[in-house]
Chains A and B, each alone.
Chain A
Amino acid sequence: MAASMAPGGACAAGQCAGRCAKALKDGTFTENPVCVQILGICSALAVTTRLANALVMGAALIFTTGMSNLLISLLRNATPRRIRMIAEVAIIATFVIMFDQFLKAFYPAMSKQLGPYVGLIITNCIVMGRAEAYAMQNPPLPSIVDGLANGMGYAAVLAVIGVVRELLGTGKLLGFTVLPPTVYTPNQAMVLAPGAFVVLGCALAVYAVLKAPARQEAKA
């Protein structure tokens, strides 16, 4: 990927806009971190019992990948190669802990529900992956776009899984009753772990169908 980019930090206006647009499209759809790279699955399965949890987790990842990509990109020429991964982890961990502290201070109930999964974003492969694969080789502006886009791609998949699981598992959405018990009997399995696997599998299948025309276009 880096080979096609201009060397150094130079980023001409037109080229930069193109690069940002590509980063945005790749991160959110074409190279969706969850659907294509199958990264961040652990939290995608664990925190999607409710839509609200999925949304907050998505926001946490958007913040973390965006900010860490920006900072790592800014430092990319100053960072010694030998310790670059440790530096990346230090930067990522800083932003994750900041977000965790924010949740604990202002949304304690949400923080309790997400449990260890906010802290575990430090080891989320998407964040580290974007730092290594993109931010280390690209200027700050496309890097922050790439980070935000990948975060949004992750958040979108989590939101979809969260909607399906909360709706089928409890008949509610964001805590409001959508399907009253008289109309629909909530399926407990959707809230439990097996439901997460089933919904994720279906989400991947739907994604593959949606993406199929784009792939054929690319071939033609």
Chain B
Amino acid sequence: MKSSLYTVLYSLALGTVCALLLTGASLIARPYKDSNARAAEERTILQVLLVPVGQEANAAEVSRVFAENVRKDESGGHVRYIYVGADGSAPKAVAIPFSGPGLWGPVKGFIALEPDMRTIRNVIFHEQEETPGLGGEIGSAWFQERFRGKRIIGADGTPGITIIRDGRASGLNEVDGITGATMTCEKVKLMLNKCIELITREDKSDGS
């Protein structure tokens, strides 16, 4: 009985000490982790907008380039990141975040459009849990580069892109897919088209 009580007290004491140590470590690390997360997001946005920034640039450098070149626009209820350039003249590109379900987990990314709002400048999928080597390749540069220069509106004027069998893309709104990752490509197409529909609808309402 006595030894049981001691065991319980010992566990309590050890547990408390460990918990305090971990709480302390977490509290000390939090501000740094927050600023790292912010820098990571800023770096992704700079990348998708093709704003020149060194690969090895540290968090402070990324923040500086971001503040100089990118304006956040939340009018109309949607977030847009506008690449205005250091001289503050006409926008050079616009980045819009998108997200949706992938095959295995949520996929998040950014699509950047040229100032005409119809030509894709770049696409980045920065968060995804697709099958490594197959669907996971959506996170690779070679796949993301396939979107560059494509139009978000088809020849017949309907908004949307298609991702088709690798090597078959011929139209301006057709993108070569990844062999072995048909499901992931289909999901990616759906989330991109949802975003594209929003963009084109918004522009129409702006015009009227």
Q: Tell me the A residues contacting B by CB distance below 8 Å.
A: 75, 78-80, 82-83, 86-87, 90-91, 93-94, 97-98, 101-102, 104-106, 108
- The smallest C-beta distance from A75 to any residue of chain B, in angstroms, reads 8
The B1-56 residues at the A interface (CB cut-off 8 A) are: 3, 6-7, 10-11, 14-15, 18, 21-22, 25-26, 28-29, 32-33, 36, 40
Is the beta-carbon distance between B25 and A98 smaller than 8 angstroms? yes
28 residue pairs bridging A and B, Cβ less than 8 Å apart: A75-B14, A79-B10, A80-B3, A80-B7, A80-B10, A83-B10, A83-B11, A86-B11, A87-B10, A87-B11, A87-B14, A90-B18, A91-B14, A91-B18, A93-B18, A97-B22, A98-B21, A98-B22, A98-B25, A101-B25, A101-B26, A101-B28, A104-B32, A104-B36, A105-B28, A105-B33, A106-B32, A108-B40
Closest CB of chain B to A184's CB: distance in Å? Answer: 24
CB-based contact B6/A80 at 8 Å: yes
Using a CB–CB cutoff of 8 Å, the interface residues on chain B facing chain A are: 3, 6-7, 10-11, 14-15, 18, 21-22, 25-26, 28-29, 32-33, 36, 40
Q: Which residues of B contact A93 (CB under 8 A)?
A: 18
Q: 9 extra interchain contacts, Cβ-Cβ under 8 A, other than A104-B32, A105-B33, A105-B36? A: A78-B10, A79-B10, A83-B7, A90-B14, A93-B18, A94-B22, A101-B33, A104-B29, A104-B36
Which residue of B is nearest A86, CB measured? B11
Which residues of A lie under 8 Å from residue B6 when comparing CB positions?
80
Known: A83-B7, A108-B40. A102 touches B14 (CB 8 A): no
Q: Are A101 and B29 in contact (CB under 8 A)?
A: yes
Which residue of chain A has its CB nearest to the CB of B40?
A108
Interface of A is mostly: helix
Given contacts A90-B15, A104-B33, A104-B36, contact A97 B25 (CB under 8 A): yes
Is A94 touching B21 in the complex (CB atoms < 8 A)? yes
Query: Which B residues lie within 8 Å of A91 (CB)?
Result: 14, 18
Which residue from chain A places its CB closest to the CB of B58 in the assembled complex?
Answer: A109
B29 to chain A, nearest CB (A): 4
CB distance from B182 to the nearest CB of A (A): 25
**A220 → chain B, closest Cβ, in Å?**
48
CB closest chain-A residue, reference B21? A94
- B40 and A82 contacting across the interface, CB-CB below 8 Å: no
Provide the bound-state CA to CA distance between A97 and B19, in Å. Answer: 11
Min distance, Cβ A39 to any Cβ of chain B, angstroms: 24
Assess whether A105 is in contact with B32, with CB atoms less than 8 Å apart: yes
Docked pose: A28 CA to B10 CA in angstroms: 34
CA distance A86 to B10 in the complex (A): 12
Q: Residues of A contacting B26 with CB < 8 Å? A: 101
Q: Which residues of B contact A102 (CB under 8 A)?
A: 25, 29
Nearest-neighbour CB distance to chain A for B62, whole angstroms, equals 12
What residues of B have a CB within 8 angstroms of the CB of A98 in the complex? 21-22, 25
In the complex, what residues of A have CB within 8 A of residue B21's CB? Answer: 94, 98
**CA A49 – CA B17 in complex, angstroms?**
37
